[in-house]
Amino acid sequence: MHESYRHAKSAQSTGLTAGDSTHQALLTIVDEAGSTNSVMTETDRREALPHGYAIMARRQTAGRGQRGNSWESEAGQNVTLSVMLRPEGVEAREQFMVSEAVAIATAGVVAELTGVQAEVKWPNDIYVGQQKIAGILIECGLEGGRISRAIAGIGLNVNQSVWRSDAPNPVSMRQLTGEEYDTAATARLLVERVARLTAMLPAGADEIERSYAARLWRREGRHLWEDAASGEVFRAGIARVERTGRLILDNGREYWFKEVKQVIPELP
């Protein structure tokens, strides 16, 4: 089992410093769940869950991804969990900063445990090279124009090596290194990092935004994109991502999530 989690390297793995605060993982592990985001929502209705509380399912039967996609995960082989986040004072119009924090924390954990660079594909998938290693789905609750809570669902490919769905170019940590990982220990580390970075908001928004920009997948060069409305495929580079989450390309086009997608070549 891979044991070199190196908690002291949090600043190196994320590119951020979070002061002296610590956030221990409040992790509940269940054998099976439909969607951990749904379980978290139902549990929070009965009792207010604290920031950093997480539920992980060894087998998730109805995991959800972005764009309404399902998430493939072999039972017991990966990390499929949801984290309750309660950042204080984050305006609804800037809720994307929560997504940025969760994404760079996840990418940082992958990089730390594998020694391989992990990047964030806009808005918040995690890629290693041309392959997807993690997906994130964030559902926010709003109150008085601010975020009252955010539930971050994270699927991280850890030990799986055979893929049966038509998901494009998946990869796991084990496939990158040849090592087997302890999924529970990986989950605890992930929850700690996510809780720590999101607790920095909104005061640490500038620092998180810079780290997100530095980890952005395909941030250099010009690549193929497909306009969701017209189906047009065109080549462009990323100029910037605004704090609201809007993508600005170097040809002047501006897109919100689901309005455009990056064209990803299938690997042989």
Instruction: Give the per-residue pLDDT at 232.
Output: 98
Query: CA-to-CA distance for 148 and 169, rounded, in angstroms?
Result: 36
Does position 176 have pLDDT exceeding 90, yes or no? yes
| End-to-end Cα separation, the chain, in angstroms | 30
Query: CA-to-CA distance for 6 and 117, rounded, in angstroms?
Result: 17
Does position 23 have pLDDT exceeding 60, yes or no? no
Instruction: Give the per-residue pLDDT at 67.
Output: 47
- Residue 55 and residue 84 in contact, taking contact as beta carbons nearer than 8 Å: no
- Residue 237 and residue 262 in contact, taking contact as beta carbons nearer than 8 Å: no
- Residue 63 and residue 81 in contact, taking contact as beta carbons nearer than 8 Å: no
Instruction: Give the per-residue pLDDT at 18.
Output: 41
Q: Beta strands 26-33 and 233-236: pairing type?
A: unpaired
Instruction: Give the per-residue pLDDT at 84.
Output: 98
Q: Which pLDDT band holds residue 155 (cuts at 50, 70, 90)?
A: very high
Instruction: Give the per-residue pLDDT at 9.
Output: 32
DSSP β-bridge partners for residue 59: 32
Q: Which residue has the tokens 């005061």?
A: 203
Instruction: Give the per-residue pLDDT at 92.
Output: 96
Instruction: Give the per-residue pLDDT at 180.
Output: 98
| CATH code matching the domain that covers 7-214, chosen among 3.40.50.970, 3.30.930.10, 3.40.50.2000, 1.10.1200.10 | 3.30.930.10
Percent of the chain with pLDDT over 90: 80
Instruction: Give the per-residue pLDDT at 148.
Output: 96
Does position 62 have pLDDT exceeding 90, yes or no? no
Q: Which pLDDT band holds residue 263 (cuts at 50, 70, 90)?
A: very high
CB burial readout 114-150, b (16+ within 10 A) else e:
beeebbbbbbbbbbbeebbbbbbbbebeeeeebbebb
Instruction: Give the per-residue pLDDT at 4.
Output: 35
SS3 168: coil
Does position 221 have pLDDT exceeding 80, yes or no? yes
Does position 80 have pLDDT exceeding 50, yes or no? yes
Instruction: Give the per-residue pLDDT at 10.
Output: 32
The domain segmentation of the chain, as residue ranges, is 7-214, 223-262
- Token digits for 28? 């509940």
pLDDT tens by residue, 242-259: 999 999 999 999 999 999
Does position 181 have pLDDT exceeding 50, yes or no? yes
Mean pLDDT across the stretch 8-37?
Answer: 62
Closest-CA residue to 112 (of 15, 22, 180): 15
Expressed in percent and rounded to 5, the helix, strand and coil fractions of the chain are: 30, 30, 40
Query: CA-to-CA distance for 254 and 89, rounded, in angstroms?
Result: 27
Mean pLDDT across the stretch 218-241?
Answer: 98
Query: CA-to-CA distance for 237 and 229, rounded, in angstroms?
Result: 19
pLDDT tens by residue, 104-123: 999 999 999 999 999 999 99
DSSP β-bridge partners for residue 248: 240, 254
Provide the sign of the torsion angle of the four alpha carbons 125, 187, 137, 98, taken in this order.
negative
Does position 173 have pLDDT exceeding 60, yes or no? yes
- Token digits for 250? 């170097």
Q: In the predicted model, what is the mean pLDDT of the chain?
A: 89
Cβ-proximal residues to 175 (8 Å cutoff; 6+ apart), any chain: 161
Cβ-proximal residues to 7 (8 Å cutoff; 6+ apart), any chain: 189, 192
Instruction: Give the per-residue pLDDT at 166.
Output: 75
Q: Which pLDDT band holds residue 231 (cuts at 50, 70, 90)?
A: very high
